[in-house]
């Protein structure tokens, strides 16, 4: 049994940290968005007397990772087999395009799509795996959903899909990865939690942003609501990220944000022409710059990367 899956990356259009739990994890209010850039998974599995899991890494970022049991893809395969009490031989090839330590959720997406692929091949219900996915990583459940946009709460694992009309004209994204890994632990160690009033105001802004996106409003109406609390924990301490932000501001592009805990910075623009022009202005030998679109559906597995050029609830509102 064989299957191929596209594993989309994500950006955060909004990220506020609302508190810290006794176990050390931070409470978030965030808006995830999947994009048409990511990895490709080739998976083959068959029942066997004894479980065996193998992983081969290819692609431009494959050499940066280990192809052993420490890899999230291997861990996800084992979690699936143990959860359903199956023995199987699972052979995987992962074509890696998403850099690590970039705030794009590449490893989490890979893990989720390993479990989704195995669910398809063995006829299992993916909903059963959501708790196990959360234990693998806070972002893993995000990629178990087909939706493009999801509101994240808790540690990012309490998810609410945001419906967007199929006819919605969404902006283009220009992403810049400055070839720098930003360790998440160090970012949160520098975090100063906002006061209650500030946190409440920002959470209100998140709800406004979600309404604009649900209603397919033009970018000009909601770009001022883009926000990432973690920028203040990264930009002053990471020259490469700060330089990207400065270069973007020189182009008079104002819908600019760091994704997650960094190091990728992205800009939203109205047209493909604008995206191409911005890529040409930002590209240099110290960074990877490309443009892409939001990933509208995981049902079309051949959709992944086609627009890329290198160089648990419901929300109701009135539109």
**36-62 residue pLDDT tens:** 999 999 999 999 999 999 999 999 999
Retrieve residue 35's tokens. Answer: 């994009």
**Cα gap 105→211, rounded to integer Å:** 24
Retrieve residue 128's tokens. Answer: 């059963």
What local confidence, expressed as pLDDT, does residue 24 receive? Answer: 85
Separation of first and last alpha carbons in the chain: 45
Retrieve residue 125's tokens. Answer: 């219900």
Q: Which of 39, 110, 139, 157 is catalytic?
A: 139
Give the count of alpha carbons within 13 A of 200, CB side only: 3
Long-range contacts (CB closer than 8 Å, 24 or more residues apart) made by 152-159: 152/28, 152/29, 152/30, 152/31, 152/32, 153/27, 153/28, 153/29, 153/30, 154/27, 154/28, 155/21, 155/25, 155/26, 155/27, 155/28, 156/28, 156/30, 156/32, 158/312, 159/32, 159/312
**Cα gap 30→207, rounded to integer Å:** 10
CB 301, CB 5: distance < 8 Å: yes
CA-closest candidate to residue 184, choices 7, 6, 15: 15
**Cα gap 81→85, rounded to integer Å:** 6
**Cα gap 147→143, rounded to integer Å:** 9
The ranges of the chain with pLDDT < 50 are 298-317
Examine the residue annotation and report whether 139 is marked as an active-site residue of this protein.
Answer: yes
CA-closest candidate to residue 288, choices 176, 180, 182: 176
| Domains delineated in the chain | 2-162 (3.30.230.10), 172-303 (3.30.70.890)
CB 175, CB 8: distance < 8 Å: no
Q: Which helix (H) or strand (E) holds 8?
A: strand 2-20
Pairing relationship of beta strands 88-95 and 26-47 according to DSSP bridges: antiparallel
What local confidence, expressed as pLDDT, does residue 99 receive? Answer: 94
- Tokens 């597995």 identify what position? 301
Sequence length of the chain is 319
> What is the pTM for the complete model shown?
0.92
Pairing relationship of beta strands 172-177 and 265-269 according to DSSP bridges: antiparallel
| pLDDT tens digits, one per residue of 191-216 | 999 999 999 999 999 999 999 999 99
SS3 state of residue 216 = coil
What local confidence, expressed as pLDDT, does residue 309 receive? Answer: 39
What local confidence, expressed as pLDDT, does residue 156 receive? Answer: 87
What local confidence, expressed as pLDDT, does residue 220 receive? Answer: 95
What local confidence, expressed as pLDDT, does residue 14 receive? Answer: 98
CB 107, CB 99: distance < 8 Å: no
What local confidence, expressed as pLDDT, does residue 307 receive? Answer: 42
What local confidence, expressed as pLDDT, does residue 104 receive? Answer: 97
**Cα gap 54→72, rounded to integer Å:** 12
What local confidence, expressed as pLDDT, does residue 319 receive? Answer: 59
Q: Which of 10, 34, 96, 151 is catalytic?
A: 10
């Amino acid at each position: 049994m064989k299957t191929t899956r596209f594993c989309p990356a994500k950006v955060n259009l909004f990220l506020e940290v609302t508190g810290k739990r006794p176990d050390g994890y931070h409470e978030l209010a965030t808006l995830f968005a999947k994009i048409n850039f990511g990895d490709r998974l080739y998976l083959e599995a068959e029942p066997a007397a004894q479980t065996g899991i193998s992983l081969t890494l290819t692609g431009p970022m494959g050499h940066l990772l280990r192809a052993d049991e420490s890899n999230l893809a291997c861990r996800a395969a084992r979690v699936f087999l143990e959860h359903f009490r199956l023995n199987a031989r699972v052979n995987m090839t992962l074509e890696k395009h998403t850099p690590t330590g970039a705030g794009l959720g590449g490893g989490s997406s890979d893990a989720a799509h390993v479990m989704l692929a195995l669910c398809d091949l063995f006829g299992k219900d993916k909903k059963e795996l959501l708790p196990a996915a959360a234990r693998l990583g806070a972002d893993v459940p995000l990629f178990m959903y087909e939706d493009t946009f999801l509101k994240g709460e808790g540690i990012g694992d309490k998810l609410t899909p945001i419906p967007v009309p199929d006819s919605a004209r969404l902006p283009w994204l220009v992403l810049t990865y400055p070839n720098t890994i930003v360790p998440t632990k160090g970012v949160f160690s520098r975090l100063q939690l906002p006061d209650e009033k500030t946190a409440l105001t920002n959470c209100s802004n998140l709800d406004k942003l979600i309404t604009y996106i649900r209603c397919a409003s033009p970018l000009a109406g909601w770009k001022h609501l883009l926000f990432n609390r973690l920028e203040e924990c990264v930009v002053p301490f990471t020259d490469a990220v700060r330089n990207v932000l400065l270069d973007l501001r020189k182009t008079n592009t104002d819908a600019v944000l760091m994704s997650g805990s960094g190091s990728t910075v992205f800009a939203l623009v109205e047209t493909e022409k604008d995206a191409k022009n911005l890529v040409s202005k930002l590209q240099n030998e110290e960074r990877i710059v490309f443009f892409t679109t939001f990933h509208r559906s995981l049902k079309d597995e051949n959709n992944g990367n086609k627009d890329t050029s290198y160089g648990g609830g419901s929300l109701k509102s009135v539109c």
